[in-house]
Structure 1
Amino acid sequence: MTQSAVKSVTARIAEELAVGERQVAAAVALFDEGATVPFIARYRKEVTGSLDDGQLRTLEERLTYLRELDARREAVLASIEEQGKLTDELRAALLAADTKARVEDIYLPYKPKRRTKAQIAKEAGLEPLADRLLADPTLVPDELAAEFLNENVADAAAALEGARHIIIERASEDAELVGASREKFWADGALRTAPWSEEAAKSPAAQKFRDYFEFSEPLENMPSHRVLAVLRGEKEEALALTFDGGDDEIYQAMIAQSLAIDLSANAPATPWLATTVRLAWRAKLMISAAVDARMRLRQRAEDEAVAVFARNLKDLLLAAPAGTRTTLGLDPGFRTGVKVAVVDGTGKVVDTCAIYPHQPQKQWDQAKATLAALVARHGVELIAVGNGTASRETDALAAELIADIRAAGAPAPTKAMVSEAGASVYSASAYAAQELPELDVTLRGAVSIARRLQDPLAELVKIDPKSIGVGQYQHDVTPGSLARSLDAVVEDAVNAVGVDLNTASVPLLARVSGVTESLATAIVAHRESAGAFRSRKALLNVPRLGPKAFEQCAGFLRIRDGEDPLDASGVHPESYPVVRRILDRSGVTLAELIGNERSLRALKPADFADERFGIPTVTDILGELEKPGRDPRPAFSTATFAAGVEKVGDLKPGMVLEGVVTNVAAFGAFIDVGVHQDGLVHVSAMADRFISDPHEVVKSGQVVRVKVLDVDVDRQRISLTLRLNDTPERDQGKRPERGGDNRGGNQNRGGGNNRRDGGNQARGNQSRGRGNDSRRREPNPPSGSMADALRKAGFGK
């Protein structure tokens, strides 16, 4: 790439981000040197003018696109020049092209291609016929065509057909015309849907798309979840899609103007030319515009869906950790039993077993006694219940156990429901086999559930982000773009929290800035052979971990109780001299300064800044010294669900319940209120003001209070509202229409769960045997064999 191209790229990105070109150029240079987004955002603020990680992610993405655009532009220029057809005007047009699509439009007439009917007609000498008819419509087509008969042109009809192909191709390769018709089609067009066929409409599989059997919406306004829903319906042969650009006559007038044809002229060639224009639209440009609209619609929908998934994933990864407390994990099941695992505060497995409290074995009391013994033996403080099949019943077992322990006068553990999404993927993975080789696949799931409660981030990084299940139609999104976005989210989350160098797993280390999977494996291997790291600088003893990797990763790795207290903080080793300078001028020791909020806030960052470490870095250093190694995640809390609410049929309009946000989509949020199906709060029912993005109000994992607006037991749909003063629909004496018009958003129904657009598919794995019964019950004193079991376990007298 030429220097002028670099300047063009940086200038354009600077304009798009509304930042200085010098900031962009500095960031580009750092990226080219191998620096990562987390490192640049945190430790190179002076260089980039404090660009944040969001701006840097956008910058990196645009940099890649614009460099690819420049490379393609150079290739196209070279191709046209090689053909001897490159003019100054054409070169200027290509240099001005600001998108890949525009470059391809300009290149189309010069692009090597298979022989077309127009090319064959040109080879037969029919291009002069086309030119003369365009230039002089007073000519009679049949009479003129007779002059062009030869061995390759049998009659006048064949000559005129060839001339028509030439004119149509000329119109379809006019970059300005193609671009203008494409943009008009997008601005004025609509997507219409109908049943794939009468027979298909009757099938049970198609019924989840019945809201789209008669549906139309402007292309520009169609939200991503509906786009992906109808595209899935088309893929499953439930829906037929039609892209309608509007009034055909307007497009034909555009084509005629481009070809200098007067359609109103009353000349002999006018009817023939009008038919040619109509065919140019219907057979070429309309198809091209419709294909482009489909691609653009899908791309926009995918971008929005990926953004939603990324936001939810970030919230899930940064969910409150329960901390280093001994945890009992329960992986529910009926016939195969409930798998049990106890892990200590570090996540180490200390006990496992299986219990069979449910059908068909029904060993309820025996299962409870087994759990009581485990709680007493290991000092269990937390019980994590997976939210899969039999979760409701297993949660009831845990609740009863806790009540019995309290009744025995002993401290009882706290229980919480934990998402199982992706747990089976982890259990069967090669890493799980390596990490827990002695455990059966099913027991590994219970271990994962327990660890997820202790530290969601550390456990979820072991799973492919796509398998975590907090997306909106994630299975319909192009895998590559989804993977890139989710990987960036995981990387940012891990580095925002920081990683304990002496306990982190290979998957967690591999997400640290500058650390590859092979390097993470080498770090763990060195740790196992040489013992725990005592300092960050000891990382340089790891094979293949050189100065560059050390620079990128060191600040994000923590060493607790190491040789240098700064190694437990987010202060980068390269900045340690600044800390020493602060200590020298302050006349105190590091131990006296760390955590001393009053002393630290009295210091002025400018007093310690220099050419290398400016005020932003010094400010961050002082913040780290104030709260070294602070965790940005919120405090741990659990929801309390209503007693007696265990299935959809138990819900009644008007109920006010506590729930947990399980997923946030573009159209609303799904809430677990303790039944087998999540309810939906539509975006229109989230606040007493206009909300464009549900993330403005809620996030995954948040505990909220909701009111039930409507319950459809047959379709397993629950409509909720966050506005507790809303009136349930039943009390209003009317129900909203179920058809496509309901998509406009009836706020009393929360938009209706029709917004799921294809049933439960908006979340990917909604229909789970769920239950999150964290309700508090007044315990009755245990009696009989259970009292004996509790005493044997060590509870009570």
Structure 2
Amino acid sequence: ENVRFIIAQFIFENVEIRKQLRKLFNRFGTLKTKGSSKVKFSKNNIQDIIDESFSLQSVAGPKYMAIRRAERQKYISSEIEIDDNQILGDLTKKIIQTKDPVILFQLEAIISDVYYRLLKPAFQSEVKNRLWEQTQDQILITLTNNLQQNLMYAPMGYEIVLAIYSDAKDLSGAAVVIDKNGKLLDGGIVQFAAEQATVTNELIASLIQKHNPKVIAINKGDSYKKIKTALKSATETSETAIVGVDALEAKAFANSDLAIVEAPQTNEIIRSAVYVGQKLQNPLSAMVKVDPIKLNMGAYQQEVDQQLLAKKARQIIELTVNRVGANVNLCTVSYLQNIAGLNEQLARNIFQHVLDKGPLKNREELKNIEGMDDQNFEQSAGFLMIPESDVLLDQCFVHPNNYSIVKELALASKKDLNDFLNDRDALRRIDIKKLQADCGKELLAKDLYYELQRKYRDPRPPFKVINFDPSIKEIKDIKVGQIITCRVSHFANFGVFVDIGLDQDALVHSSQMPSKIAAHFTRHFNLGQSVQVKVKAVDLEKNRLQLELYFPPKIPAKQTRTYNADTKRNNSNRGSSGKKSFKSKRPFNKHGKPKTRFGTLGDQFKDIFPAKK
């Protein structure tokens, strides 16, 4: 018995055996699922993962995440399946070298026991752990990409906004007006149910008349479409546009200490409405005020490692803030603390300095702020813009250390600095190689070139109000073959979700996109971008649409032809004789024939096989 135990332990711990088994499991193993008696109680659509087999090469990702979730909820069970006879045969050939029937029988029994009792359970667990790691990595990439897209969402800008928030089934909520800087001006609690609709519409109409907001912002949710419909009578005499805002994190922000400081003596729902308006004005500035883990990043957000997600989210926020830059006289503490070289205390000192002493007049004044040493200034100055500065280059994101280089470029173009910075053609003609020589570093030269090109321009896309089809009020109003203008709302690994003007977004699966777009669809679309889709199928029972991207057919430009007045024939390619002239771009050899690119076959071999003399 001791000998059997020693041999079994040797087989289980042998590195070569484990390496071979790992290859076999990864190559030939499948993930088999089986539905339980509880599956009929599932609220999610899991029919495509019940009693199915999945290749281990392709199941990692959203599919395995769905399987893992259903398994945790006891709707299904799963296990790694493989041909045990093949595995045992390979192990026997690798381990057993004797032909003695007695020893052979004993060793086969030991190998079988070790495989079923130790090796197979261990590798099943290992494969599942590997699938989970791969799945989590894929989901984290998708979530952080979604977050970056959300942060780079088009800002409406500094305009007065009437914002409405409601997440209640009884359509109760709040309507507020915020000023150009996001401060609460007016508003109150409203009720959009039918019995209170008249009173609510009167309040909304009075707020519109009093403050003349440019846009009405409504948080996207179950009540969005009903509220939008209820507002029809209040806005019929106004040109104020209505825009849906994805603000699932509004309540999380409303319960934070910062929200209470911004809007004291208000309740949670009023503060939520204020956030909805702020997010429309400047999504990036609003979202940096919320705990990153509470921002809406997409499906399966709660399933992944929350600490790792929070860490990656903070990195994305910092990168995005520094990419966009900051108007130092307008930014909040939450925004400024994400600028390179600044921490929370230094950001607070800058913000307080602007409040107490008025806007900064130039970047040099940053050095007078408490806590701002040379290193902090060096790291942060290039990301802090001062549009009101008396120094022209302070008005863009060129670092002070590079001011002299820019002035030399302007001098070389024989223009003054202001004309040079506003001359797009002159900026495009900058010699990047010479600029690199002046800067001494290739990366620095490219950064400086980029900043000069964009100058005051925000890298985020321009804001655009999308007018949805007013005839689509419910999914039953949509017909197969219909072309719908919609808005990209968020991304998943398998496609793009679009807002078609209803409470629920619809999916355009990657299989319904051209292959060039489907391979990297996150590079082809921005959140908020207007796209057109064609309806392929409508499933009223599941409340689901099948959509494909639609591209309007291009109308070919009308070609014009030149004619000879006498013959009415096109003679543009003919000489004076009327015969078509031969105009080859290739030079001719001495025999009057065009030279080929590589010459004749004999020409190519003449150096290898020289002619005999």
> What is the CA–CA distance in structure 1 between the aligned matches of 2:156 and 2:412, rounded to whole Å?
40
Letter paired with 1:269: I
Q: For the structure 1 residues 589 and 696, does the alpha-carbon distance in structure 2 shift closer, same or farther, using more than 3 Å as the test?
A: closer
1:384 matched to 2:220? The reply is no
Structure 1 residues 173 and 386: alpha-carbon distance in aligned structure 2, compared to 1, 3 A threshold: same
Q: In the alignment, what sits opposite 2:562?
A: none
Select the residue among 620, 644, 667 that pairs with 2:494: 667
Structure-2 change in CA distance of 1:603 and 1:693 (3 Å): closer
1:299 corresponds to which residue?
133
Point out where structure 2 has 5 or more consecutive residues left out of the alignment.
Answer: 553-613
- Counting only pairs closer than 5 Å after superposition, residues 708-723 of structure 1 correspond to structure 2 as 708-723=535-550
Name the counterpart of 2:75: 238
CA distance in 2, matches of 1:551, 1:282: 64
Question: Given the alignment, which residue of 293, 301, 313 partners 2:147?
Answer: 313
Cα deviation code 1:100-127 (max 9, x no counterpart): xxxxxxxxxxxxxxxxxxxxxxxxxxxx
CA distance in 2: counterparts of 1:334 and 1:237, whole angstroms: 30
| 1:605 Cα offset (Å) | 4.2
Aligned to 1:403: 236
Equivalent residue runs for 1:565-644 within 5 Å = 565-586=392-413, 588-607=415-434, 609-610=436-437, 612-614=439-441, 616-618=443-445, 620-644=447-471
Higher helix share: 1
Cα offset, 1:206, TM superposition: 6.3
Counterparts of residues 112-511 of structure 1 (less than 5 Å): 160=1, 162-195=2-35, 197-198=36-37, 200-202=38-40, 204-205=41-42, 208-244=45-81, 246-256=82-92, 260-262=95-97, 265-332=99-166, 333=168, 335=170, 337-359=172-194, 362-405=195-238, 412-511=239-338
Letter in 2 for 1:695: T
CA positional deviation for 1:606: 4.3
Matching residue's letter, 1:378: H
CA deviations over 1:542-583 (Å, ceiling 9, x no partner): 333333333222211211212322222121122223223334
The residue matched to 1:270 in structure 2 has which SS?
helix
Separation in 2, partners of 1:693, 1:601:
29
Distance 1:592 1:522 in 2: 35
Aligned length: 552
Distance in structure 1 (CA, Å) of the matches to 2:262 and 2:323? 25
Kindly state the Cα deviation for residue 227 of structure 1 after the two structures are TM-superposed. 0.5
CA-to-aligned-CA distance 1:267-316 (integer Å, 9 cap, x gap): 21211111111122222222222122111111111111111112222222
* DSSP-derived class of the 2:237 partner: helix
Percent of pairs with identical residues: 26
Larger RCO (alpha carbons 8 Å, 6+ apart): 1
Give, in angstroms, the shift of residue 229 of structure 1.
0.2
The 1:553/1:310 distance shift into structure 2, 3 A limit, reads same
CA displacement at 1:724 relative to structure 2: 7.1
Aligned partners of 1:309 and 1:474 also within 8 Å: yes
| Deviations, residues 423-445 of structure 1 (Å, cap 9, x unaligned) | 11111112212222232211111
Kindly indicate whether the alpha-carbon contact (under 8 Å) linking 2:221 and 2:503 is maintained by their aligned counterparts in 1: no
Q: Distance in 1 between matches of 2:225 and 2:84?
A: 58
Query: Deviation of residue 498 (structure 1)?
Result: 0.9
User: 1:180-239 deviations in whole A, cap 9, x for unaligned?
Assistant: 3223211221111112x33x233x236632332211111111141111000001111111
Distance in 2 separating the partners of 1:223 and 1:724: 32
Partner SS state of residue 535, structure 2: strand
Supply the distance in 2 between the matched residues of 1:167 and 1:546 (Cα, whole angstroms).
68
CA distance in 1 between partners of 2:525 and 2:290 (Å) = 25
Q: Could you say if the C-alpha distance between residues 226 and 163 of structure 1 is closer, same or farther in structure 2, counting changes exceeding 3 Å? A: same
Q: How far apart in 2 are the matches of 1:608 and 1:221?
A: 48
The verdict on how the C-alpha distance between 1:450 and 1:286 changes in structure 2, with shifts beyond 3 A counting, is same
* 1:521-562: CA deviation from partner (whole Å, max 9, x where unpaired): 333233334433222233333333333333222211211212
Partners of 2:14 and 2:505 in 1: CA distance: 52
CA distance in structure 1 between the partners assigned to 2:446 and 2:476 by the alignment? 56
- Seen in structure 2, the aligned counterparts of structure 1 residues 201 and 624 have a Cα distance that, compared at 3 Å, is closer
SS at match of 1:366: helix
Change (3 A) 1:650 1:578: same
Which whole-Å CA distance do the structure 2 matches of 1:186 and 1:619 have between them?
A: 45
Q: State the Cα deviation string for residues 623-651 of structure 1 (Å, max 9, x = none).
A: 43454232111111122222232222333
SS in 1 for 2:289: coil
Q: Which residue in the other structure is 1:535 paired with?
A: 362
Could you tell me which of 377, 382, 400 is aligned with 1:555? 382
Q: Which amino acid aligns with 1:218?
A: S
CA drift of 1:473 comes to 1.2
Q: Give the SS at the match of 1:393.
A: helix
> Which amino acid is 1:319 matched to?
Y
* Aligned counterparts of 2:524 and 2:419: Cα–Cα separation in 1: 41
2-side partners of 1:176 and 1:689: how far apart? 43
Partners of 1:391 and 1:247 lie apart in 2 by: 53
CA distance in 1, matches of 2:417, 2:551: 52
Contact preservation (8 Å) 2:60, 2:131: no
Partners of 1:563 and 1:400 in 2: how far apart?
49
Distance 2:442 2:385 in 1: 24
Structure 1 counterpart of 2:527, one-letter code: S
Query: Match of 1:565, as an amino acid?
Result: L
- In the TM superposition, residue 587 of structure 1 has moved relative to its aligned partner by 5.4
Provide the residue aligned with 2:560 in structure 1. none
SS of residue paired to 1:330: strand
How much is the aligned-residue C-alpha RMSD, in angstroms? 2.6
State the SS of the aligned residue for 1:545.
coil
Cα deviation, residue 374, structure 1: 1.8
Matches within 5 A, 1:725-736: none
Normalization by structure 2: what TM-score? 0.84
d(CA) in 1 for partners of 2:430 and 2:385?
25
SS at match of 2:270: helix
**Structure 1, residues 128-175: CA drift from partner, whole Å, max 9, x if none?**
xxxxxxxxxxxxxxxxxxxxxxxxxxxxxxxx2x32222222222222
Structure 2: distance between partners of 1:641 and 1:558: 37
In structure 2, the CA distance between the partners of 1:595 and 1:216, relative to structure 1 (3 Å rule), is same
Change over 3 Å in CA distance of 1:565–1:165 after alignment to 2: farther
Q: 1:18-71 deviations in whole A, cap 9, x for unaligned?
A: xxxxxxxxxxxxxxxxxxxxxxxxxxxxxxxxxxxxxxxxxxxxxxxxxxxxxx
Larger displacement relative to structure 2 (223-232 or 386-395): 386-395
Amino acid in the other structure paired with 2:155:
P
- Runs of 4+ aligned structure 1 residues displaced above 6 Å come to none
Distance 1:257 1:552, change over 3 A: farther
TM-aligned CA distance change 1:586 to 1:213, over 3 Å: closer
Name the amino acid aligned to 2:531.
Answer: V
